[in-house]
Homo-oligomer: A and B are copies of this chain.
Amino acid sequence: AESAHESSSGKKYASYTIFKAKAALTVYPVLPKFCTIGSGNLKMEKNGVVMLVFWPAIATRKYDWEKRQYFALSPTEVGSLVSLGSSDSCEFFHDPSMKSSSEGQIKKSLAIAPINDQSGYFANLNVVNNLNKTNDRLSIAITKAEFAVLRTACSYVLPHIMGWDQVISPEKQTTPKSAVNRPHPDFEWSR
């Protein structure tokens, strides 16, 4: 293992993980995708997400990555997370098979609720898979300090998963007024 070479053109991976008695939670950002439009310009096609990966403990300080469950937070869900008051809770529902033939067969819900003594939050992920007849529940306690890390890091990446850092990059300085394409209402549900 060595430190990064300055001339490297490779991709870089980094995540934030908290390990607790019954599960671990790994969090990392995923960038938006852009597609080419007329005149060599680019338009955001798909927003980025903040990916949450829950994976269960199988023994003391051993966790099973094979049994991981993903939950991808959209920009608006990240907004909900970073604005959560110390006694607030929130819940998100996802259907990863939306608009496919198996729509409605897999249901994911993530609930974040404050711990009674205000020392942090519980995050509860529930995945119901009617195809496999399985129901996975993964739960992890997030301390105030850990939540502050998530809040700070998610506030930092939010403009990036929205693609706004690309718009304001000075090398690509422009007035997007005339060129912005009509956003499509399906956009919000098609992630």
Chain B residues whose C-beta falls within 8 Å of the C-beta of A30 in the assembled complex = 175-177
A45-76 contact mask (Cβ, 8 Å, vs B): 1 or 0: 10000010100000001110100001000011
- Considering only residues 1-58 of chain A, those with a C-beta below 8 Å from chain B are 1-4, 6, 8-19, 24, 26, 28-37, 39-45, 51, 53
Query: Is the pair B162, A34 in contact by a Cβ cutoff of 8 Å?
Result: no
A165 at the interface (CB under 8 A from B): yes
Pairwise interchain contact B9-A166, C-beta atoms closer than 8 A: no
Knowing A43-B14, A176-B28, A176-B30, the reply to whether A4 touches B183 (Cβ < 8 A) is no
Contacts of A133 in B (CB 8 A): none
Q: How many copies does the complex hold?
A: 4
Please name the residue on chain B nearest to A145 by beta carbon: B80
| Bound complex: CA A56 to CA B176 (Å) | 21
- Chain A contact residues, majority secondary structure: mixed
Contacts of A166 in B (CB 8 A): 4, 12, 14, 170
User: What chain B residues lie within 8 Å of A10 (beta carbons)?
Assistant: 36, 39-42, 172
Beta-carbon contact of A156 and B149 below 8 Å: no
CA distance A77 to B143 in the complex (A): 11
Distance, CA A33 to CA B12, complexed state (A): 11
Q: Which residues of A contact B (CB under 8 A)?
A: 1-4, 6, 8-19, 24, 26, 28-37, 39-45, 51, 53, 61-63, 65, 70, 75-80, 82-83, 90, 143-149, 151-153, 155-160, 162-177, 179-183, 185-188
Which 9 residue pairs are nearest across A and B when measured between Cβ atoms?
A14-B163, A83-B148, A80-B145, A1-B35, A79-B149, A79-B148, A14-B44, A12-B166, A4-B34
